[in-house]
A and B are shown apart, each in its own frame.
Chain A
Amino acid sequence: MAHGPAKGIGRWLFTTNHKDIGTLYLWFSFAMFLLGGFFAMVIRAELFQPGMQLVKPEFFNQMTTMHGLVMVFGAIMPAFVGLANWMIPMMIGAPDMALPRMNNLSFWILPFAFAILTSTLFMDGGGPNFGWTFYAPLSTTYAPDSVNYFIFAMHIMGASSIMGSINIIATVMNMRAPGMTYMKMPLFVWTWVITAFLLVAVMPVLAGAVTMMLMDINFGTSFFNAAGGGDPVLFQHVFWFFGHPEVYIIILPAFGVVSQIIPTFSRKPLFGYSSMVYATAAIAFLSFIVWAHHMFTVGMPIAGELYFMYATMLIAVPTGVKVFNWITTMYKGSLTFETPMLFSIAFVILFTFGGFTGLMLSIAAADMQYHDTYFVVAHFHYVMVAGAVFSGTAAIYYWLPKWCGKMYNETMGQVQFWVAFVGFNIAFMPQHFLGLAGMPRRYADYGLQFADWNMVSSVGAFIYGGAQLMLLFNVVMTIRNGKPVSDPKVWEGAEGLEWTVPTPAPYHTFATPPTVK
């Protein structure tokens, strides 16, 4: 076990080391984050003023679609898989992931998936233009020719996610150090193993949905084609049966990250550990039985509307348990406000805000007005960006010193936080007002009455985009010439096995399993 990493490009192509693969996932997801962010900048630049300025409406539609797809499947999901690869073996005292060669495969098919997806933008007829939810018949009867490439790309990234999840489940179930019982596992591990089960259960449903599209388009079936006896509404049910668990797939690992960071900088153990575990499991279970709240306007019977409304509201209970636990962890703690903690506190505040707008949307009667407006856009950016992306950023600042043995520049970190926080709120807070005033989403143009807030929103979006370049700068500067740290704990309040190995974390850790008391 004494040998280190191989030399050259071969190290990255053939690696089976969980730390290398975690690094690959993180850099890949950051590249996708910048790509998806670039698409967002095109959207906001076009919406800076009413009227058509920069792009054609057809291209605008491709931008909204690709922004959603790249951010969800290319940036957020792989980022958390990267964190899982890096941290889960170190947190449970395992030498590596359970299935290291499958780990390599599940990463290396991803760049191909996104190369295929992105290449559609340069094809005749353009890339996917039907929204990231790709509702039939927009994505079947009326889709551009490139839709088959889109379907193939979705299949590949689905396979990657399923393999990654199986690996995580196998690692957690079989590779824990002696004494590391389930109820001693750090919360990040818990949220990830629950997420992994969600992924194994619903990514195949997504694959099924795109396969049915493929058959409708190319092989004359009529799953979603009303002329042949099918039903486009079926597509929405299948999609959201995947799609609702998907939003928890995105947010649960973020919950896990925040549940690691807040105790560290509060210098107190996490309040209500077991209730956190049960709340996570409850959220995962509920996510399977609420999907149709995305389709209140599709024409459901009143009983269906009521059922999906109440079931959706029920999710606020376990989510509330988590929020109160984070607040109670901080209560009477010796708080310090390093960058990871700032991002985590912002996460708790802004995610709760996004949760409340989610509750507003869950009211079926009110959703008739909010549906497909910018209010929805504002809601899910509060939970996806201020939720998943803020927590991912917190995780980078929190664990980066452990990974590379260098400390980031605290001032630069805090500056980046405030730019991101202010930029984010300027970008998305006004979108609530726009939505309530009736501005529909996914249009390249808007009425003059929406002009002012759109301009504000675009300015905020550019600021927030700039904050991501600052993050990249901070990370690169830390790796190149950050102040060396050698204390295994890095943060004085940090607890857990990952902080018992030397800093920077050696290439191989826990070759002999530690004993957990």
Chain B
Amino acid sequence: MEANRSNRTLLGQLLLLAAGMFAFAIFVMPPLYDLFCEITGLGGKTKGVYEAVEVKIDTSREVEVQFLASNNESMPWVFQPTEHHVVVHPGEARKVTFFAHNTTGRDMVAQAIPSMVPNNTADYFHKTECFCFNNQPLAAGEKAELDLIFIVDPDLPASVNSLTLSYTLFDITDSVSSPVAQLQ
């Protein structure tokens, strides 16, 4: 029948729309959100490993970089920057360390998540080496100095003379399957 056929066509089209919206929610919205945060710099997410290129160190300019370290609620470790702030010239590679101490009686794995303010400056902060690129396994009672080597891009807008890099430490022991000794 004519009506039956058009009902079935419409049913197919509407089911397709529903399936499309489902796929949109799972496969499009999260990347779109990340993209939006990256463009606007709202998330303050710093990039991955940076391959250092030859740049002239801009000695005429000084930029203060401040470090914050905090623990995500139930994380029991001691976690703090060794120096709370350093002053660098743009283009200069600088190494700083963070101190971590697993105060508990069990082996644990942590993950540090970076965030940078002011917004939009994450693109000008390059990390050639960072403990945050991997997870940080520490055996019970173990202490560690965690390394970070960074370069502030000489193209950093002139209006910015202070950057703040914050790390939040999460306990990811439960979601890592290999034992701590093996990770180390």
A→B interface (CB under 8 Å)? 98-99, 102, 162, 165-166, 169-170, 173-175, 200-205, 207-209, 211-212, 220, 223, 226-231, 234, 237-238, 241, 301
Contacts and interface: CB of A to CB of B under 8 A. Distances in A.
Contacts of A175: 3
A174 B18 contact: no
B50 interface: no
A174 B11 CA distance: 11
Contacts of B30: 212, 223, 230, 234
Given A208-B22, A212-B25, 14 more contacts: A166-B10, A175-B3, A203-B21, A204-B21, A204-B22, A205-B29, A208-B25, A208-B29, A211-B22, A212-B26, A220-B175, A226-B72, A226-B168, A231-B43
Contacts of A169: 10, 14
A226 B10 CA distance: 41
A34 to B, nearest CB: 31
A282 B65 CA distance: 49
Contact of A200 (B7, B18, B33, B113): B18
B72 A237 contact: no
Contacts of B22: 204-205, 207-208, 211
Contacts of B17: 200-201
A238 B25 CA distance: 7
Contact of A201 (B3, B6, B21, B171): B21
Given A205-B21, A212-B26, A227-B111, A166 B168 contact: no
Interface residues of B, number: 34
Interface of B: 3, 6-7, 10-11, 14-15, 17-26, 29-30, 33-34, 37, 40, 42-43, 72, 111, 113, 119, 168, 170-172, 175
9 contacts: A162-B18, A169-B14, A204-B20, A208-B21, A208-B24, A212-B26, A234-B30, A237-B33, A241-B25
Contact of B24 (A200, A205, A211): A205
B11 A99 contact: yes
Which of B15, B22, B168, B171 neighbours the largest number of chain A CB atoms within 10 Å of its CB? B22
Nearest to B2: A174
B34 to A, nearest CB: 8
A170 B10 contact: yes
A99 B11 CA distance: 9
Nearest to A207: B22
A393 B10 CA distance: 33
Contacts of A212: 25-26, 30
A327 B71 CA distance: 58
Nearest to B37: A231
A201 to B, nearest CB: 6
A209 B25 contact: yes
B29 A228 contact: no
B84 to A, nearest CB: 23
